[in-house]
Structure 1
């Protein structure tokens, strides 16, 4: 409980500290990664680490990148959007991922609670900072991609129907990992140094 409170305090402090910085979260300096990419890589590493604690790995119905086929197509289409619309796409994906991981108990998994808390803090930080960028950029389109929204709703329902089992969480972890890997590519194309 103390670690959760500490991480929440650290995250909120950092978020409030960066409120006036506009969209520097997504910008890259020459030869380096953006803060989004740094945190996204930490989130990816955390999910990969958590995956080592679950046995069995099935991947039917998925494209080569681990995403359901229709979502892989959506990520490919997002690569050709304007910067503001790419940012909206990233925010909706992060928001769906954060809601998914906060939807129920992961006690059935072998994941350490500290790892889950850290993952949630990374997701919260990314989601908050991307939302700050959206406020600074004021994109014209804020339409939620209906297929993506339905995708996260179905994943949440599947988790619930499977009683938040370890295998259900593993499936969620693998799909979220694929999402984050694709979001990293998309973020790299928003602001080129």
Structure 2
């Protein structure tokens, strides 16, 4: 290995040291999400792109981090619809703090992405995750932003955050 390769590998590792702290911030976001609405209703079915997460879990760390950023940004856009949350009894301060934690996760991961030199070779996940979040928005709209529709969304977001944590945990241990 050349000196350049050693230095480049070190800079890549130090650029994403934040991945090691991701679990702490992720635990905060999951805790706030639960606090927003209490127990998750077990009888609610929500579409989820499980196979997409399984395939992303096998990709290179760079592509995983790019996927996490993309997914976090979709979650933020979905949950930042406070004008449509009148039917749900969530504490607005908790929702706001939840969004701040998600913004922090996204911005920290974007700093990691900025250190990656090569472009992503996985554009198909962008289309799939965009399609999934479009489906979640349609659920809200179809159910007229009802409290039950928002609970479906909250449950889907919980599943996303949990699966994202699994991806980060596996990429940090590699």
Superposition map of 1:116-135 within 5 A: 116-135=95-114
Inter-partner Cα distance in structure 2 for 1:138 and 1:107: 44
Q: Paired residue for 2:143?
A: 162
How far has the Cα of 1:184 moved from its partner?
0.4
Q: Paired residue for 1:48?
A: 34
Gaps of 5+ in 2: 1-13
Inter-partner Cα distance in structure 2 for 1:139 and 1:174: 34
Q: Which has the larger radius of gyration?
A: 2
**Residue 183 of structure 1 pairs with residue 164 of structure 2:** yes
Q: Paired residue for 1:35?
A: 21
- Indicate how the Cα distance of structure 1 residues 136 and 59 shifts in structure 2: closer, same or farther if over 3 A, else same: same
SS in 2 for 1:59: coil
Inter-partner Cα distance in structure 1 for 2:70 and 2:101: 16
How far has the Cα of 1:192 moved from its partner?
2.2
Question: Could you list the per-position Cα deviations for residues 118-173 of structure 1 after superposition, in whole angstroms to 9, with x for gaps in the alignment?
Answer: 11101111111111110112342162521211111121232133222111110000
**Residue 192 of structure 1 pairs with residue 173 of structure 2:** yes
Inter-partner Cα distance in structure 2 for 1:182 and 1:138: 26
Q: Paired residue for 2:44?
A: 59
Inter-partner Cα distance in structure 1 for 2:136 and 2:128: 12
SS in 1 for 2:171: coil
Inter-partner Cα distance in structure 1 for 2:95 and 2:165: 21
Q: Paired residue for 2:55?
A: 77
Q: Which has the higher helix share?
A: 2
Inter-partner Cα distance in structure 2 for 1:41 and 1:138: 30
* Alignment length (residue pairs): 158
TM-score, normalization by structure 1: 0.74
TM-score, normalization by structure 2: 0.81
- Give 2:17's match in structure 1, choosing from 18, 24, 39: 24
Contact 2:37 2:89 in 1 (8 A): no
- Indicate how the Cα distance of structure 1 residues 150 and 96 shifts in structure 2: closer, same or farther if over 3 A, else same: same
Computed over aligned residues only, the root mean square deviation of the Cα atoms, in angstroms, reads: 2.1
